[in-house]
Structure 1
């Protein structure tokens, strides 16, 4: 699905990745990042957010918290990250980014709260309940600081992915805010939810969820109680063209993730300002029964999309030609993706060692893929900057 957009909008990226793989500089089973493009995308998002008065925190999980990608994003003007979990927080901290937001989506485990408060020192920390708020405040107090706390809220009719539920009742927000302010080491700073925006397949547009209206209504209740200077964190399906809608709804913070590498669902149906900047690369291992088996480990077919014909560019030479496209059977999520199976019938059948290029709306952090940052593509001088695991640590490759 994203391969069509990649071929049309960033063909030099595909060809550079293929050439580097042919030269033995990029491993199979790797998410590859166009660092020039991701820097440009970050600048587009940051400039629009600044124009609208929005704070911007980069989500890094999709590209495996790559250090070189984090640095490219910082060069683009975004110096803070949102950490979806403690692994994100530690990786982006090592890369030199500030931890702008911690605790959303995943809360911080009890034994990690003190270290998070004293070492990571997040600007904002989301809490789902009183216990987690007390742990965050106690950690901050021990570190000699006061922690800005965001209350995760929910109301009847709000939309949450299964397993993402939790938070305070929006109707109780004034009481919650007063209680958070009473904590030694903590202060109430604002409210958050997820997702605030969501792609609608039928409309082929990104639309506000009921959660965004809940944020707006809850902010109004806080204003009536005398709390007008609060943060409203509204993540979900973030591209530069959608930031105005968030600002209009009262949001003060945005958290681009797939938008940084041009792979939100909206990027499939519209040419947005951000360029596609991430692909998945692997290679053919062997042939069997009319199929070319390519190395797996990083396949992630996002369940937000209906089933579609997955294709790959399979070639021994750099190319984006339609003639190199082949259909691929990817193992279902219930299986381990040791291999995917490429159609090997007809002329110019794939051979062992051929490069295979895929375009996914990636979630590298849930895979066992390598993550490779490549600079210089825009200047036709590609250079591998980092080869890492999905925790942003240097990988032992080739051995």
Structure 2
């Protein structure tokens, strides 16, 4: 469904991706990111957050922690990141985004706490007093006091499998007091995820029980004398969702897919943010009437359920605008995604043809590459750089030669 959105709202990204792949600048298994669109989308979110008195931290895992994208986000007005794990925070910092929040969803491992403290995050989420003590010891060693958020859980709250953990929301006042006594940390507020989710029945974003839990926790904490309680409320974050969060008492929001126009709501409704990411591959070979397409990044975020995936197969003399969208058979979730396949008519595809997908990505869990493009608005697209899914430089022939020389 995001392919049709791209074709309608950002066809220049598809055209540029095809041209760069044809020229050899863009390898298959690469997510291409319209950096100008990301900057504009960020400005939309940042302006609405500012209007509502919210602090926005950018989530970059979905776009492969691409440092060029981090710079575009900063230029758009969001200066700090949320790191889903420590590596995410480090990669975002390398791209120029200061560390706004870490430890949520993934806690900081015990022996990495000093590495986390070196980033001087504004907020550090802990699921237990033990983790608060680790954060406090690391912050003390670095010479500062760390603001911490407590991950809380109330009756009826919703969590994805494997995301559970935290403090009992019914005991949040006592827990905040105990954490506040730990050297090196200061209790600053509460968090949970997801605070909002897309509701397929209504075709809109809805609050989860978790958001009500956060609202009650803030009320209880303020009644007990805590001041300036932060409420971090991530989940399905685009500019259109921010007012709901602010009304519930949120103070922090964490746009991720909103910055690339790929939240579930973007799939069913035209929002201010425009689609800014596509996946580019190439036909490897043909077999029994099907084109086999190189994979490596064929992970479609399952938040929309078992949505079918389409792609454009564009030959060397073809125009992407007139190409037929073909239904793609994606690899099974339990399989390694060496290839996807698509039925093609006789003579309808050749090895080397460009293939363009549009779907909601989670690049950081793949072995894909990412590439930012600037200049689509001017009609002179240029590739800013090529990066691995973890935000590092991909290894190339020079690295091989260096390694072989060292081995000699």
Give TM-score scaled by structure 2 length: 0.95
Determine helix, strand or coil for the equivalent of 1:379: coil
Provide the residue aligned with 1:367 in structure 2.
366
- Aligned residue in 2 for 1:6: 6
**1:304 aligns to what SS in structure 2?**
helix
Quick check: 1:280 aligned with 2:282? no
Kindly indicate whether the alpha-carbon contact (under 8 Å) linking 1:7 and 1:320 is maintained by their aligned counterparts in 2.
no
Question: What is aligned with 2:194?
Answer: 195
Tell me the residue number matched to 1:255: 254
Residues 257 and 263 in structure 2, CA contact (< 8 A), matched pair in contact too: yes
Residue 302 of structure 2 aligns to a residue whose secondary structure is coil
Q: Report whether the alignment pairs 1:381 with 2:377.
A: no
Q: Distance in 1 between matches of 2:64 and 2:389?
A: 4
Aligned length, in residue pairs: 397
1:59/1:256 contact within 8 Å kept: yes
Name the CA distance, whole Å, in 1 between partners of 2:21 and 2:349.
16
What corresponds to 1:166 in structure 2? Answer: 165
Aligned to 2:96: 96
- Say whether the 8 Å CA contact 1:67–1:386 is kept in structure 2: no
Tell me how far apart the structure 2 counterparts of residues 42 and 304 of structure 1 sit (CA, whole Å): 22
For 1:298, the equivalent position in structure 2 comes to: 297
- Identify the residue that residue 234 of structure 2 maps to in structure 1: 235
Quick one: distance in 1 between partners of 2:308 and 2:241?
29
Distance 1:244 1:74 in 2: 22
1:1-399 aligned at under 5 Å gives the runs: 1-117=1-117, 119-317=118-316, 319-321=319-321, 323-345=323-345, 349-397=348-396
Residue 316 of structure 1: how far off its partner (Å)? 1.9
* 1:359 to partner: Cα distance: 0.6
Shift of residue 320 of structure 1?
A: 3.7
Matches of 2:58 and 2:69 in 1, distance apart? 11
Structure 1 CA distance for aligned equivalents of residues 384 and 321 of structure 2: 27
For 1:390 and 1:209, the matched residues in 2 are separated by 31
| 1:328 to 1:398, Cα distance in 2 relative to 1, 3 A | farther
- How much is the aligned-residue C-alpha RMSD, in angstroms? 1.2
Q: Structure 1 stretches of 5 or more lacking a match?
A: none
2: distance between equivalents of 1:378 and 1:91? 28
> 1:319 & 1:397 partners in 2: Cα distance?
31
CA apart distance, 1:367: 0.3
Q: Distance in 2 between matches of 1:51 and 1:57?
A: 15
Give me the whole-angstrom Cα distance separating, in 2, the residues matched to 1:296 and 1:336: 9
Q: Deviations over 1:279-326 (max 9, x none)?
A: 110000000011100100000122222333321011024634354211
| C-alpha separation in 1, matches of 2:322 and 2:263 | 24
Measured in 2, the distance between the counterparts of 1:368 and 1:398 equals 18
Question: In 1, distance between residues paired with 2:79 and 2:20?
Answer: 29
Contact 1:154/1:168 (CA < 8 Å) preserved in 2? yes
Q: Give the Cα–Cα distance (whole angstroms) in 2 for the partners of residues 44 and 2 of structure 1.
A: 20
TM-score, normalization by structure 1? 0.97
- Comparing 371-380 with 230-239, greater Cα deviation is found at 371-380
1:211–1:185 Cα change, 3 Å = same
Instruction: Give CA-to-partner distance per residue, 1:310-359, whole Å, 9 cap, x none.
Output: 2101102463435421111011110000000011225x511100000001
Does the 8 Å CA contact 1:282/1:294 hold for their aligned counterparts?
yes
Unpaired segments of 5 or more residues in structure 2?
399-408
CA contact (8 A) 1:42 1:260 kept: yes
DSSP-derived class of the 1:352 partner: coil
CA distance in 2: counterparts of 1:85 and 1:275, whole angstroms: 27
Contact 2:42–2:76, Cα closer than 8 Å, also in 1: yes
Cα distance in 1 for partners of 2:351, 2:158 equals: 46
